[in-house]
Structure 1
Amino acid sequence: MLKVIGVRFKEAGKIYYFDPGEWRIERNDAVIVETVRGIEYGNVVLGIRHVREDEVVLPLKKVLRVATEEDVKTVEDNRRAAREALGICEEKIRAHGLEMKLVDAEYTFDRNKIIFYFTADGRVDFRELVRDLASVFRTRIELRQIGVRDEAKMLGGIGPCGRILCCSSFLGDFEPVSIKMAKDQNLSLNPAKISGLCGRLMCCLKFENDVYEESKRLLPDVGERVLTTRGEGRVVLLNLLERKLQVELNGSRTLVECTLEEIQTDSSRDHSRQASGTFQ
């Protein structure tokens, strides 16, 4: 087992494991660590714990130190400098006539590199732009093309549900979302109804899907015959979230709403007869 802490470098970013060494580190502390991008400042979201070796990427890098007030000041200075760099880069993009939309910019903690994030419809030849920016900032330049989902995560916003976007508030990673998930949740397949601000299928279709799948597994199918406290009938509608169903009673068009505990399906009745040793 390895002793680790979990660190995030962005509010809703991916969690990375680091070796805390001899430092006494608790959740919500800020730390300085070494990453593939260089020296970085991050926030501890998972306190010291022990995990199996197959759960981490080895070799595990150690925490350099717990962040000081001076480190916090450096981070704020870097953010102000990145905002200024964003405006300069936009001017350079216009000057070079490139078909790209600049989204964000950030300095690494040690100012060893500045990263510009952009979106574009296709490939962009930005070699001249990089040389131009390097002559202005006198540091390493990286231009990183991102997708529309990443853009929404960086910029944030309010989703169709009226809440802050999931991707910018708590989702660490994007997972594949399919139209089948919308069908399973009995949602309208109108793209405007099931798409987020990014224009892609809403992320909540994925992380809410497990609840719907579990409910579908427990509830009978539409069309299945069940026995209720008010008589036998056929299932005509399912409420997967509340785990309720509407049943049309035999010999009438009366609809009754039942919970899972108030019904008995054909299969459950057969199982009950076999368990008691009676067969009909």
Structure 2
Amino acid sequence: MDKDRMQEIKPAYYIIGFKRRRYGYCVDREGLGLKRGDWVIVQVERGKDMGCIVARIDEEKIRRGDGDAILEIVRLATDEDREALLRLRNEEVEALKECKEFVEFRGLKMKLVDAEYQFDKGKLTFYFTAESRVDFRELVKDLSAHFRTRIELRQIGVRDETKKCGGYGPCGRPLCCATFLNEFESISTQYIQIQNLAVNPIKLSGVCGRLMCCLAYEYPMYKELAEKYPRVKDKINTPEGEAEVIAIDYIQEIMTLRFPDERYKPITFREWRKMTKKGV
């Protein structure tokens, strides 16, 4: 491509996906007109890798703080490239088994989760979990000599492990983290309390053992409603005297009140708003 044409082409930025929902950013400077699902070869730090275009993204929306460089797209992948990638995936299965043997030989307390070859086999990454820090320097030497390539051992958390391994949640559907979630949000017990859910770790924990990510989906709505209406245990004034809010159903817009004489009465949010306006 001549220099004048390259100057005319505006760079196009994309989100690129690699194995098991590992994502990065890449840029097309040659006007390839890429679309979702296209496979491309990208230039990485040391060599070339292959990934699938997930979506186009504006340059200003790219989070530079993520630490990963924006990868340069070299070319579209060919059918031969895709066949070679499938062969690599099979080799990764065997590589993981062989690595486990080395881990057992060295007596290291680590759980191997996955293996991933760079497309040009210039690097082989092993993902693992461990309860504490692991000194794997000798293991890296063993693996480098055995596989004859650059080795990277990357420790991940239990949520990342579940994301890589996949599975099904209590809802019966494939895990959110393994299908469409790109980032993990910190979930606290506040998410449970504001949605008036019973604090039951067994029912509210996911496959990873942490609080389920889906607790965050409706949290903004409940948080907004909680700022407008009374909360459980709040005391409110009614025409019948002071009462305590003992239950709230934000979906049905009903709150249940308990009076000092142990009477219970449900009222709608609309009734409560009327009482508030009248200054009861």
Determine the structure 1 residue equivalent to 2:6. Answer: none
1:87-109 alpha-carbon deviations (Å, 9 max, x no partner): 11111111222211111111011
Determine the structure 1 residue equivalent to 2:55. Answer: 46
Determine the structure 1 residue equivalent to 2:34. Answer: 25
1:24-69 alpha-carbon deviations (Å, 9 max, x no partner): 111221222223464222221213x544277557974432112211
2:197 pairs with one of 181, 187, 192 = 187
Determine the structure 2 residue equivalent to 1:277. Answer: none
TM-score, length basis structure 2: 0.80
Determine the structure 2 residue equivalent to 1:276. Answer: none
Determine the structure 2 residue equivalent to 1:130. Answer: 140
Instruction: Provide the rounded CA distance (Å) in 2 between the counterparts of 1:226 and 1:264.
Output: 12
Instruction: Provide the rounded CA distance (Å) in 1 between the counterparts of 2:128 and 2:258.
Output: 59
Instruction: Provide the rounded CA distance (Å) in 1 between the counterparts of 2:231 and 2:192.
Output: 17
CA contact (8 A) 2:248 2:256 kept: no
CA contact (8 A) 1:182 1:188 kept: yes
The Cα shift of 1:252 comes to 10
Pairing 1:34–2:35 present:
no
The Cα shift of 1:122 comes to 1.2
Instruction: Provide the rounded CA distance (Å) in 2 between the counterparts of 1:195 and 1:176.
Output: 13
2:127 pairs with one of 117, 134, 137 = 117
Pairing 1:245–2:263 present:
no
Distance 1:245 1:37, change over 3 A: farther
Instruction: Provide the rounded CA distance (Å) in 2 between the counterparts of 1:53 and 1:161.
Output: 33
* 5+ residue gaps, structure 2: 1-9
Instruction: Provide the rounded CA distance (Å) in 2 between the counterparts of 1:27 and 1:92.
Output: 39
Pairing 1:7–2:16 present:
yes
Determine the structure 2 residue equivalent to 1:148. Answer: 158
In angstroms, what is the RMSD of aligned CA positions? 3.1
Which runs of 4 or more aligned residues in structure 1 lie more than 6 Å from their structure 2 counterparts after TM superposition? Answer: 249-252
CA contact (8 A) 1:2 1:50 kept: no
Instruction: Provide the rounded CA distance (Å) in 1 between the counterparts of 2:119 and 2:170.
Output: 36
- Stretch of structure 1 that moved more, 76-85 or 242-251: 242-251
- Stretch of structure 1 that moved more, 72-81 or 120-129: 120-129
The Cα shift of 1:136 comes to 1.3
Distance 1:111 1:83, change over 3 A: same
Highest RCO, 1 vs 2 (Cα 8 Å, sep ≥ 6): 1
CA contact (8 A) 1:7 1:43 kept: yes
The Cα shift of 1:151 comes to 0.9
CA contact (8 A) 2:11 2:28 kept: no
CA contact (8 A) 1:101 1:118 kept: yes
Pairing 1:99–2:127 present:
no
Distance 1:17 1:142, change over 3 A: closer
- Identical aligned residues as a percent: 40
